[in-house]
Amino acid sequence: MGDTSGVVLAFYMSNSDVFPHNHDEIDFELLGHEKRRQWVLQTNIYGNGSVKTGREEKFYLWFDPTQEFHQYSMLWNTHHIVFLVDNIPIREVIYNQVSSSVYPSKPMSLYTTIWDGSQWATHGGKYPVNYKYAPFVASLGELKAEGCLMSKTNSTSPSSCLKSSTLLTSDPVEGDEYIKLTSQQTAGLKWARSKHMFYSYCKDTSRYKVLPPECRA
């Protein structure tokens, strides 16, 4: 395995190619953090903003992600955004009046990347990527995606699904079962955040002299 500090593996949705100055983004990022903690999981959201307005949260994983495949899921609809690991919710962002202006709302594409994130993934570059251990390789298992396929002519409208005999005419993740977490999921969310989350932008007063409005709600 070698030393993977500074290496970032990202699985995310984004529309920065279409909206470079007010893009939306929903991220899962595995950060090669440091030797003591080989990998950290970061979640992040941009809504109508730039890279200066990210809303990061970081978690120490309860497993080694290099030993076997695990399931990383993102649910995004008009009710909430939920990040799940092995079907355990670790973060929920609820759509409401406070969050509406920064809530991802435009159609996005799906990406995965591996790159050198030394400057911000490891305490400001304290543990940069050591290319003696290159190449760095990521293996991904199965991918399952459900959602609404958008027409390019309606690329700015989140409610315009392509109509086809082979495609749903409404978003399949807007059903009743996707509106809110179950009691079991809520318990899992509390466990993950109390036991494994070690950073939240809502508690970063050195970065935000005035906390974002959703942190004060």
Answer for the pair 34, 40: CB distance below 8 angstroms, yes or no: no
pLDDT on residue 32: 87
Annotated catalytic residue 174: no
Give pLDDT, residue 165. 36
**From CA 87, how far away is CA 202, in angstroms rounded?**
24
Question: Which residue is associated with the tokens 């994130």?
Answer: 117
Type of residue numbered 40:
V
The CATH number linked to 46 is 2.60.120.200
117 φ, ψ (degrees, to nearest 5): -115, 35
Is 140 inside any structural domain? Answer: yes
Q: Is residue 28 part of a domain?
A: yes
- The label of the residue with tokens 């942190």 reads 215
Q: Please, which residues have CB within 8 angstroms of residue 26's CB and are 6 or more apart in sequence?
A: 12, 13, 14, 44, 45, 74, 76, 81, 104, 108
Question: What are the average pLDDT values for consecutive 10-residue runs of the chain, which has 217 residues?
Answer: 81 93 93 76 88 85 92 95 98 93 91 89 79 89 84 52 45 83 97 97 90 85
Look at residue 164 in the predicted model and tell me its pLDDT: 40
Count how many domains the chain has: 1
Q: Which domain, by its residues, includes 201? A: 7-216
Q: Would you say 28 and 70 are in contact if contact means Cβ atoms under 8 Å apart?
A: no
Question: Is 92 designated active site?
Answer: no
Predicted confidence at residue 30, as pLDDT, reads 94
**For position 153, what pLDDT does the model report?**
54
DSSP secondary structure code for residue 201 in this structure: G
Tell me what pLDDT residue 173 has.
Answer: 83
Residue 137 forms part of a structural domain? yes
Provide the pLDDT for residue 167.
41
Of the listed 29, 34, 57, 214, which one is catalytic?
A: 29
Could you identify the residue written with the tokens 């995606």?
145
Q: Does a structural domain hold residue 2?
A: no
pTM: 0.88
Q: Is residue 1 one of the residues assigned to a domain?
A: no
Note the pLDDT of residue 81. Answer: 96
164 inside domain: yes
Task: Identify whether 106 is part of a domain.
Answer: yes
In a domain, 73, yes or no: yes
